[in-house]
Structure 1
Amino acid sequence: MNSQPSVSAAPAVHTLSSGLRVLLAHDPLAQTVAMGYFVQTGARDERRAEMGASHFLEHLMFKGSEHVSGTELNMRLDALGGHANAFTSDEATVYHAASLPEQAPELLAALSVLLEPALRPEDVEMERGVILEEIAMYDDQPESRVFDALRAAYWNDHPLGHQVLGTAQTVAALTPDALRQNFTERYGTGAVTLVATGQLDEAALLAQAETLSAHWPRTAPTRTPRPHTPAPALHRLTDDTLGRLHVAVCSPGVPVTHPLREAAAVLSEIVGGENGRLYWALLDTGLADSADLSHAEYSEAGVFEGGFSCDPERGAEVLALYRDALVTLQRDGVTPAEVRRAARKLAVSTLLRAETPQGQLFGFGMEYLALGRLVTVEEAVERVAGVTPGDVQALLDLRPFDVQVTVALGRTDAVQPLD
């Protein structure tokens, strides 16, 4: 068996008569096939009073259709031998699975049942309890609490501030009718892309997808971008029961379509990646037990988001060093060696993810949802590997770290506002 599948499969997009887009990346050397429905809807597309509806729907999809029970559906997915799962984010919901190539028709049929949910009232009530337990579990985790508070403080009333899980109050109030309305409005074929990678019979897959999607609703996404201008702020959430101080920091980044998108990824790797500047300033010195910075990009905005945890008595010192790392970076820039190392590391990570059909699935699918066009592995690698010190400096010239929204959770007496 070939142990190193090709990573250069050239994908192609087909639009079916139903309006469903199908992105295929055939790799004849692959030993598996991976498929996923990538839906252009997420937490940001919800009405604020219905926060959590997207994640709620994700759960309900696995409860079966009018013709297939939840038990039978899950038995079908399990019998395929591959890992079937789903996730909801701010701007996307994805249902995915993998199997052996000869099982591709059964895999597509089972995945397609997910897109025809019965949304039975009894299933809604059962999953409501599951999700409320999930919310309670995350509420007990300081890392989740501080970042939920950070996003709420940073985004304020912008829909990107919606919590993916929702709140206990909004989830408790979601009715079967409200969930069905959310599904009808946001799951039409205009919002859905089927992505399939690995060893494929492309003609057979297209014909099957045409039949399966023929009766699906034709609605399309109606997302309206909204500008957002954050203001510097410090929010202290005192909880004397916590033994560690948890701090989260957010600054403006660039949107997914910005030409400096890859430079933002390189910059965050230089600062917050393994062996990045924060590691040497805070972890290697023993001042903090965690410290990071990453960049997240959305349709109309992006954010640098990170933070640290430490002994509360060291909170002021560690926060000052964290802030200083960002300010020094913006003032003095980065070195060519730092850019080369970070860009190379990100390029290698992109190639490693693309070595399997499942890795290709997420690369192609998420990029297509975000950009509305195909991005090959070669292009993705070339773009990140080609980031120059000048690109990173152009990003720093936007002065993203002039604005820092900070949330501290725990014993917060030592944490003071930024001068």
Structure 2
Amino acid sequence: MTLPEPLAPSLHTLPSGLKVLLAPDPLAQTVAMGYFVQTGARDERRDEMGASHFLEHLMFKGNDAVGGAELNARLDALGGHANAFTSDEATVYHAASLPERAPELLSALSVLLEPALRPEDIETERGVILEEIAMYADQPESRVFDALRAAYWGEHPLGHQVLGTVQTVSALTPEVLRRNFLARYGSLSVTLVATGQLDAQNILEQAALISAEWPHTVHVRRPLPQQVAPALHILPDDSLSRLHVAVCTPGVAVDHPLREAAAVLSEIVGGENGRLYWALLDTGLADSADLSHAEYQETGVFEGGFSCDPERAAQVLGLYRGVLSSLQEQGVTEAEVRRAARKLAVSTLLRSETPQGQLFGLGMEYLALGRVVTVEEAVERVANVTPQDVTALLALRPFDVQVTVALGQTATLATLT
């Protein structure tokens, strides 16, 4: 017996302007859906930092037809995972359920995109978010990376804190939040993605009805240049027993031809069994050490760091910098590239084995690139990274400009630059 194969993803534009990206798989046991909104923390005014994340919270409070308690009961009754997240450039609302519950799933998920934004709900969630900010402020890892982003990005909107600050969140009024919603949640800025066992025609017809009255507006993001100078910022805190260091250097944008090479390079350096592991963790000099690559619309960054005993701070920072410097001076080996590329390709395949995993791959790639990227293409692009690709990336000298922030007992770093 020949089993049906998954169908190629298809992109549709509804009369409302809403885009629908469908990836049916007749053999899947579940269906996953998500609204991917092309807006995030970088799209806020600086004095309204945190508005995107605040709106994410308020979406779960329901609308005039469906109250918050009923909405959450509906989502819970579907038996699947329902959640949301806000990042620098995207906000995503997602859920999964059994295939026969797909119409109910889409109906409940769509309530999130038509929020009431009641003043009483805003005050309740303000308290929740302020508690969230306070919680992260007590975590040294969060503190050092917040300080790193502020130091690296300066006034660039990619330096906005997703949660906002106590000051900005406290000042967000119902009028400001509604203005942000209307400006950035029009149908032309939203993509509905559905994966798994689904009836494509039914989803298209239902989504067309649901979105018919949505504002036909689009949020246009303005890319901005970024100039960075090397710097070391010392944040003394003698109450901390470990020193926490965060490092940021220039990377490449999401549409750069060496994007996959950047992912492979960061795996070679900061992945499990990467160069930082053998230099700092296997030797017992540090508690943790990593490096990853994040790409944005017009730029990207390598971002990482370590934690260690304060007495070893200068030694460990020197070794960390030495690992990055040696890459630019000596390059990488073919075995390193092959191993890292294979690991990333397998990870991509594993994530795509479930409808929910495939949902995020399709949705986030579409938001970033404006086109459909299949699992096969994503796997092929990373699997085919060559040593020459990584060498070309290193020729850009990404590690020449390092912005570093150290938090804790920093006396041994006082003489460093």
TM-score w.r.t. the length of structure 2 is: 0.98
The residue aligned with 1:301 is 299
8 Å contact from structure 1 (residues 5, 355) kept in 2: no
8 Å contact from structure 1 (residues 5, 30) kept in 2: no
Q: Output the amino acid matched with 2:394.
A: L
Secondary structure of residue in 2 paired with 1:400 = coil
- The whole-number CA distance in structure 2 between the counterparts of 1:280 and 1:305 is 19
Deviations 1:173-222 (A, max 9, x none): 00000000000000001110000000010101100000000001111021
The residue aligned with 2:402 is 404
* Aligned residue pair count: 415
Q: Output the amino acid matched with 2:69.
A: T
Q: CA deviation at 1:413?
A: 1.1
Secondary structure of residue in 1 paired with 2:246 = strand
Secondary structure of residue in 2 paired with 1:414 = helix
Q: Output the amino acid matched with 2:340.
A: A
- The whole-number CA distance in structure 1 between the counterparts of 2:67 and 2:9 is 34
Taking the TM superposition and a 5 Å limit, the aligned residue runs for 1:16-415 are 16-415=14-413
Deviations 1:149-191 (A, max 9, x none): 0000000000000000000000000000000000000000111
8 Å contact from structure 1 (residues 233, 417) kept in 2: no
Q: Output the amino acid matched with 2:199.
A: D
Secondary structure of residue in 1 paired with 2:411 = coil
Secondary structure of residue in 2 paired with 1:402 = coil
8 Å contact from structure 1 (residues 5, 356) kept in 2: no
8 Å contact from structure 1 (residues 234, 417) kept in 2: no
Secondary structure of residue in 2 paired with 1:316 = helix
Sort the Cα spacing of 1:341 and 1:416 in 2 relative to 1 into closer, same or farther, 3 A.
farther
Q: Output the amino acid matched with 1:73.
A: L
- The whole-number CA distance in structure 1 between the counterparts of 2:337 and 2:152 is 28
> Over aligned residues, Cα RMSD in angstroms?
1.1
Q: CA deviation at 1:417?
A: 6.4
Q: Output the amino acid matched with 1:247.
A: V
- The whole-number CA distance in structure 2 between the counterparts of 1:11 and 1:79 is 29
- The whole-number CA distance in structure 2 between the counterparts of 1:35 and 1:222 is 25
Q: CA deviation at 1:9?
A: 4.0
- The whole-number CA distance in structure 2 between the counterparts of 1:218 and 1:146 is 41
Sort the Cα spacing of 1:368 and 1:418 in 2 relative to 1 into closer, same or farther, 3 A.
farther
- The whole-number CA distance in structure 2 between the counterparts of 1:90 and 1:78 is 28
- The whole-number CA distance in structure 2 between the counterparts of 1:22 and 1:306 is 36
Q: CA deviation at 1:83?
A: 0.4
Q: Output the amino acid matched with 2:380.
A: E
Secondary structure of residue in 2 paired with 1:401 = coil
Q: Report percent identity of matched pairs.
A: 80
Sort the Cα spacing of 1:9 and 1:283 in 2 relative to 1 into closer, same or farther, 3 A.
farther
- The whole-number CA distance in structure 2 between the counterparts of 1:380 and 1:169 is 41
Q: Output the amino acid matched with 2:220.
A: T
- The whole-number CA distance in structure 2 between the counterparts of 1:248 and 1:256 is 22
Deviations 1:61-96 (A, max 9, x none): 000011110000000000000000000000000000
8 Å contact from structure 1 (residues 33, 98) kept in 2: yes
Secondary structure of residue in 1 paired with 2:413 = coil
Q: CA deviation at 1:10?
A: 1.1
- The whole-number CA distance in structure 1 between the counterparts of 2:303 and 2:55 is 28
Q: Output the amino acid matched with 1:175.
A: T
Q: CA deviation at 1:229?
A: 1.2
Deviations 1:255-293 (A, max 9, x none): 000000000000000000000000000000000000000
Q: CA deviation at 1:418?
A: 5.5
- The whole-number CA distance in structure 1 between the counterparts of 2:92 and 2:356 is 13
8 Å contact from structure 1 (residues 38, 93) kept in 2: yes
- The whole-number CA distance in structure 1 between the counterparts of 2:142 and 2:335 is 35
Secondary structure of residue in 2 paired with 1:129 = helix
Q: Output the amino acid matched with 2:10.
A: A
- The whole-number CA distance in structure 2 between the counterparts of 1:415 and 1:211 is 61
- The whole-number CA distance in structure 2 between the counterparts of 1:134 and 1:368 is 30
- The whole-number CA distance in structure 1 between the counterparts of 2:349 and 2:336 is 20
